[in-house]
Amino acid sequence: MTKVDLELIQKLRDKTGVGMMDCKKSLIEANGDMDKAVELLRKKGASVAEKRSGNATAEGLIHAYIHPGAQLGVLLEINCETDFVARTEVFKDLAHTIAIQVASMNPLYISKEDVPDNVKDKEIEIIKSDKDFKSKPENVRNTIIEGRLAKYYLQVCLLDQPCYKDDKVKIIDLINNAISKTGENIKIRRFTRFEIGEEDGY
């Protein structure tokens, strides 16, 4: 069995927010490879999240974040299954991180499923009008469209965005990690972003 030192375990914990024992197990399984350990934790979180995905999320909290200078603010509703989990530091920290993500990265939608068809169709039109796209063979055009739409979702969809603290971790991964730690389903219901000078919040 591979031995991993406490410093490496702590480093993985700081990077992912996952408990020390889970970090240790993942590092042992990954033979001390940090990137592989992160991927193992991500898969574990996704697996737990899938099992909990059908559970009702009627509890939660409204989290407010005001950026220093008071020119930018975010209101976020994040839901879970019980008021007990809603009061935990894990849940509150997740809400705070996501609120800062909304403030800094300005997503327009929660997930790609929320992108309206007319917006998606417009993006596809833009892709198809590109001269480089028109020069590509017919058999690869659909793959190009899917790839460019995926990049678009990274920009505008909160769950698909890389976290502002670590671009190797997506927001959905942070949520899945929290689901794994709390044992409850967690969902982002809505958010509103306000910035001085803008006519509308998102």
The model's pLDDT over 183-194, given as tens digits with 9 standing for 90+, comes to 888 999 999 999
Grouped pLDDT means (10 residues each) for the chain, 202 residues? 72 70 81 81 61 67 95 95 91 96 96 93 89 81 89 94 90 90 90 84 41
The model's pLDDT over 87-101, given as tens digits with 9 standing for 90+, comes to 999 999 999 999 999
Token pair of 39, please? Answer: 């991927």
d(CA 56, CA 71): 36
State if pTM tops 0.95. no
- In the block, tokens 């509150």 appear at 92
Q: Which domains does the chain have, with CATH numbers?
A: 6-52 (1.10.8.10), 59-111+157-195 (3.30.479.20), 116-155 (no CATH)
Name the H helices within 30-76: 34-52
3-state SS assignment for residue 195: strand
